[in-house]
Structure 1
Amino acid sequence: MTSESQNDELQQQKKQLRQQLRDNRRSLNKDQQKAASQKLLETITSHDFYIDSQHIAVYLARDGEIDPQLIVEDAWAKGKQVYLPVIDKSDWSMLFMPWSEDSVMVDNYYGIPEPDPKLYQPVAAKELDLVLLPLTGFDEQGNRMGMGGGYYDRAFEFVGEQTQPTKPVLIGLAHECQKVEQIPTGHWDIPLTGIATNSALYK
């Protein structure tokens, strides 16, 4: 089998699994989502990687994703700087804009609100202390499946190139129902520091 056909097969496996796992998280009702967010808050905020971080990137939950909003509110209350990812349409790269309760928001290409790029200065991914990123699926070995756009993989490619990566800490967030035995991975997939769910922290 050629490398090209192997890659095609991998992408097909990911596509099928991605749809299954998105259906899993969409099946959760509002009470289950609320309870999951509360458990996630307790898990994340009790760890040093959060306590010691001042610059934290998060995301706005959609499509059944576990919601980090309670973590955001805790971070704001403690004087931490929170950032949201912003897609730069000139080269489809991911930037990180500061986000507060007063930020002016605009919808991006995907219809997701983000801080207006015309009003705020982005920070480099290397300047972040902690990144809480969404997952479509994961396994206990720390392998992550995203939405397929590759934005996070490109933005944090430098992490995989470091012999001893120390910053930023990359923690994937997901519902426990998004865990599978094994996620198919490619060489471009970034390594995570850990994965937090409503039930556990996998490191």
Structure 2
Amino acid sequence: MMSTRNEIRKSLRTKRQSLSEVEQQQFSDDLLIQLSARSDVLAAKNIALYLANDSELDAMPFIKWCWQNNKKTYLPVIHPFSHGQLLFLHYDENSVMKKNNYGILEPKLDVRLIKTIGEIDIIFTPLVAFDPLGNRLGMGGGFYDRTLSSWYQQYRHQHQPLDVTPSKLTKPYPIGLAHDIQLIDAIPAQLWDIPLPEIITPTRQYKFDIHK
């Protein structure tokens, strides 16, 4: 099964890398239009995102929109001591950045800039592929699966009344971001995989029933 997952990663990364700069820019602009119109985004104060790497859907136009609209943004930082764990640090145009072990830029570690996962309203996650059930295939490190495991356990057992308000929902609410070409028929899911309730592409918003 792992070889199949790795084959999917290789195929989808190749597809993603085939997108032109013009296409990438258009998709980023289309993403901004969608995200900036969402009521949960408009109500959010703390939003976690990522810096695009390896031809991922670029959220930078949306990040800049967040700055202009007084929303604090946070980026994942690989935990220096706890293997496979992420920290989330405040990020703005003045942040001091460094490359991590994967060659991805992240804010330089400063404990004063850390925001706990439970204080983040929305976390936008990158992904390599997704399927019609909301299964997400990442790069294989399991960072976001670990980050979202506690959230998922609470979310799937939550029997939400019809009048529940967003503030009572488990934080952070995760949303995957992907190119349209990253949708495939099925992902061979594993026990530790955390499915996502929503995935947004430049042209569509997918919602999934992941309470099961």
Give your verdict on TM over 0.5: yes
The 5-angstrom pairing of residues 155-194 of structure 1 reads 155-162=147-154, 163-164=157-158, 166-194=170-198
Distance 2:137 2:91 in 1: 26
Distance 2:142 2:178 in 1: 18
Q: In the alignment, is residue 115 of structure 1 matched against residue 119 of structure 2?
A: no
The 5-angstrom pairing of residues 58-97 of structure 1 reads 58-92=49-83, 93-97=85-89
How many pairs are equivalent?
194
RMSD: 1.2
Distance 1:151 1:169 in 2: 16
Partner SS state of residue 66, structure 2? helix
Q: Report if the CA contact (8 A) 2:179-2:202 is conserved.
A: yes
Aligned residue among 39, 43, 46 for 2:30: 39
Q: CA deviation at 1:120?
A: 4.0
Aligned residue among 6, 27, 50 for 1:15: 6
Q: Which residue of 1 aligns with 2:43?
A: 52
Q: CA deviation at 1:119?
A: 6.4
Deviating above 3 A after TM superposition, structure 1's stretches of 4 or more consecutive aligned residues are none
Q: Which amino acid aligns with 2:201?
A: T
Q: Which amino acid aligns with 1:60?
A: L
TM-score when normalising by structure 1: 0.92
| 1:117-143 deviation line (CA, Å, top 9, x unaligned) | 036431111211001110100112211
Q: CA deviation at 1:90?
A: 1.4
Q: Which runs of 5+ in 1 are unaligned?
A: 1-8
- Percent identity, please: 39
Distance 1:126 1:190 in 2: 17
Q: Which residue of 1 aligns with 2:162?
A: none
Higher deviation after alignment, 188-197 or 75-84: 188-197
Q: CA deviation at 1:184?
A: 1.4
Q: CA deviation at 1:166?
A: 3.0
Partner SS state of residue 76, structure 2? strand
Distance 1:116 1:157 in 2: 25
| 1:6-25 deviation line (CA, Å, top 9, x unaligned) | xxx2x121111111011111
Distance 1:71 1:134 in 2: 14
Partner SS state of residue 113, structure 2? coil
Q: Which residue of 2 aligns with 1:5?
A: none
Q: Which amino acid aligns with 1:202?
A: Y
Q: Which runs of 5+ in 2 are unaligned?
A: 159-168, 208-212
Partner SS state of residue 59, structure 1? coil
Q: CA deviation at 1:155?
A: 1.1
